[in-house]
A and B are shown apart, each in its own frame.
Chain A
Amino acid sequence: MSVDIAVIDYGMANLRSVVKAIEHVAPALSVVVTSDPVVIAEASRVVFPGQGAAPDCMREIDARGLRQVIIDAAHSKPFLGICMGLQVLFEHSEEGDVDCLGILPGTVQRFPHEAMVDSAGDKLKVPHMGWNNVHQAAPHPMWVGIEEGARFYFVHSYFVQPTSPDVIAGFSHYPFPFTCAVATENIFAVQFHPEKSGNDGLTLLGNFVTWNPGETESACDMTGAACA
């Protein structure tokens, strides 16, 4: 029997928090942590989390033969990327100078040391760790019930730079604006950790388990490409 939600396990993340949070918002759904390409291919929805460094993530994805099934899922069903699961969707990461999955055009870069100063002239720390405001670049079914500027929990030293601004669904400031959420037809991927972001994080996960990408297009006509 196919599962409702497959959480991809490639050995690079503590997945317990993600699973617990999804189970909390969707107690009736079957949530499975898996590295089995067949289970991932058959699941209705896919969650792609991740921690650690990009080169290790890419190596472990390939070691488990998961590259193609991740690419297929990202093109075919509701797909939620979290943290490293956002970054490796892009073409290349500066972290370890590694090629990533190339599902989305763009690169991943480190917060540049020389830019890490706030308006008062004080040093900003890297990793960017803690609760920051997330600005919604466009309406999206995943943002329903979440206030513009709501705070989510971040912990990362690298950020994505999409080639096309059309995929930007959300941004944050540290100290300059950077993309913290991207959306395509059926991908929604975030730099922050919804599973660790209290009630707003749970709302976002709840939106994911009911998100039906096929039904959103007309609602997004007004907002342009962020939903397309």
Chain B
Amino acid sequence: MLAKRIIPCLDVTNGRVVKGTNFVELKDAGDPVEIARRYNEEGADELTFLDITASSDNRDLILHIIEAVASEVFIPLTVGGGVRVVADIQRLLNAGADKVSINTSAVNNPQLVKDAADRYGNQCIVVAIDSKRVGDHWEVFTHGGRTATGLDAIEWARKMEKFGAGELLLTSMDRDGTKSGFDLELTRAISDAVDIPIIASGGVGNLQHLVDGVKEGRADAVLAASIFHFGEHGIEEAKRFMKQQGIEVRL
């Protein structure tokens, strides 16, 4: 039976892994290659790197990190952040990424998703959707949650599926960094609306939240950062807990 995936997320800036709260107040969490190696040994199902480097001067750092990780870690690697044109995707894939996550650029230029999926296959195109509750619906935000787009998150998810996304990485901006759990209603609404896999993200503070994301949110994969980075919980521990709750995992 297909296992639900646990995906640690490494936010990388200037060559270091960092973790912030609601996209601000960044804390250093270590060397990306070392952390990737450890997560792999602990049984991570995939790794996601999010390049949040602000300055374009340091953009190539992520390529070196991916190259180093891909030479010794043989599980799927997803990289996102700053992807604007098809050539950016090519560079990341050449460096050893298996999937590339597109966020702001998908909103600015949906055709990029279509072109990239046509060229490299749906399997390597992840569309990241940052969403916030606005009134009675969820709206898509870009630029790390600062810019409202006016797009309805559910409609946007359907459109991105149609454009060739192989998977959606759904982050609740209301919950990110709060440790209060995923926005389960949002996760479930999007998961029910599309046929492609959904990765739930934003808000994990304990292991029960991971279980809830799968059971209540119907996520196909759960992504978390801080509970793993700062040693609060191990990945194997998380998987054993999920298994006890009746969730199929890879152990």
Asked if A20 is an interface residue, CB under 8 A from chain B, the answer is: yes
A154 and B5 CA atoms in complex are apart in Å by: 12
A129 and B220 CA atoms in complex are apart in Å by: 9
Q: Is the Cβ of A127 less than 8 Å from the Cβ of B123?
A: yes
Q: Is the Cβ of A14 less than 8 Å from the Cβ of B124?
A: yes
Main secondary structure on B side of the interface with A: loop
Q: Could you mark each residue 98-135 of chain A with 1 if its beta carbon is under 8 Å from any beta carbon of chain B, else 0?
A: 00000000000000010010000011111111111100
Q: What 9 pairs across the A-B complex have the smallest Cβ distances? A: A52-B121, A131-B250, A155-B123, A14-B93, A125-B197, A51-B121, A131-B3, A151-B250, A132-B2
Which residues of B are found within 8 Å of A174, using beta-carbon distances? 2
Q: Could you mark each residue 8-40 of chain A with 1 if its beta carbon is under 8 Å from any beta carbon of chain B, else 0?
A: 000010101100110010000000000000000
Q: Which of A149-208 contact B (CB under 8 A)?
A: 151, 153-157, 173-174, 195-198, 201-202
Asked if A53 is an interface residue, CB under 8 A from chain B, the answer is: yes
Which residues of A are found within 8 Å of B196, using beta-carbon distances? 125-127
A202 and B75 CA atoms in complex are apart in Å by: 11
Contact of B1 among A17, A133, A155, A201 (CB under 8 A): A133
Q: Is the Cβ of A129 less than 8 Å from the Cβ of B74?
A: no
The smallest beta-carbon distance between B71 and chain A, in angstroms, is 6
Query: 7 other contacts beyond A16-B96, A17-B74, A125-B198, with CB at 8 A cut-off?
Result: A14-B93, A14-B98, A16-B70, A20-B74, A131-B45, A132-B3, A196-B75
Q: Is the Cβ of B74 less than 8 Å from the Cβ of A173?
A: no
Which residues of A are found within 8 Å of B213, using beta-carbon distances? none
Q: Is the Cβ of B5 less than 8 Å from the Cβ of A20?
A: no
A201 and B250 CA atoms in complex are apart in Å by: 14
Q: Is the Cβ of A17 less than 8 Å from the Cβ of B2?
A: no
Which residues of B are found within 8 Å of A173, using beta-carbon distances? 1
A207 and B209 CA atoms in complex are apart in Å by: 40
Q: Is the Cβ of A52 less than 8 Å from the Cβ of B120?
A: yes
A113 and B195 CA atoms in complex are apart in Å by: 9
Q: Is the Cβ of B98 less than 8 Å from the Cβ of A17?
A: yes
